[in-house]
Structure 1
Amino acid sequence: MGSFSIWHWLIVLLIVVMVFGTKKLKNMGSDLGSAVKGFKDGMKDGGQSAAATDDKPAAPAGQVTNAQASDKTTIDVEARQKS
């Protein structure tokens, strides 16, 4: 009584097919498959890009790097408001 037999699952499958239709189920299956594939690719690429960025230490937040300090087109809004 606690477990479902194959007949229970077949009835549930039949009801799901009747409610959603085979075309919609096929679309949902392909969407789910592509989402899983994209997630796996993202995890694979994320691990590689994280290893590549570990070589260069990041500048602490709020600290201006030399490239940013030499850029004359950048306007510091906070400095302008203080003046």
Structure 2
Amino acid sequence: MGGFSFWHILIFAIILLLLFGGNRFSNMMGDVAKGLKSFKQGMADDEDDKMRRYEEQRRQDPRPLPRNEDRPIDVTPEPRRSTDSVPPAGDDRTNG
């Protein structure tokens, strides 16, 4: 008992169809679909406007990356520090 069976749902759908009529129900669903479509289009337009404003601002106020062309970029690795606690391989002092 507690749940709706197929027959309950079918009877409820028939009552709704009689109250609203086939044409009226179809028109309501069409209006809902149009509303969803316009909502999606509005969201896409807002996103396009934001991108357009960002691009315009970026073109008007370009911020070049700081460059020091006098010196080349140093890509050499840093030397290992002597604070490593791991003794070199082959050291017999680790066993006691």
TM-score (norm. length: structure 1): 0.59
2:49 is matched with 49
2:6 is matched with 6
How many aligned residue pairs are there? 57
> Equivalences for 1:37-76 in 2 at 5 Å?
37-55=37-55, 56=57
Displacement of 1:3 after TM fit? 2.5
* RMSD, aligned CA: 1.7
Displacement of 1:2 after TM fit? 3.0
| Aligned mates of 2:50, 2:3 — CA distance in 1 | 45
TM-score (norm. length: structure 2): 0.52
Displacement of 1:6 after TM fit? 1.7
Q: Which has the higher helix share?
A: 1
Q: Residue type of the partner of 2:3?
A: S
Query: Kindly, what percent of the aligned residue pairs are identical?
Result: 36
Cα distance change on mapping 1:51 and 1:5 into 2, 3 Å: same
Task: For structure 2, list consecutive stretches of 5 or more residues without a partner in the other structure.
Answer: 58-96
Task: For structure 1, list consecutive stretches of 5 or more residues without a partner in the other structure.
Answer: 57-83
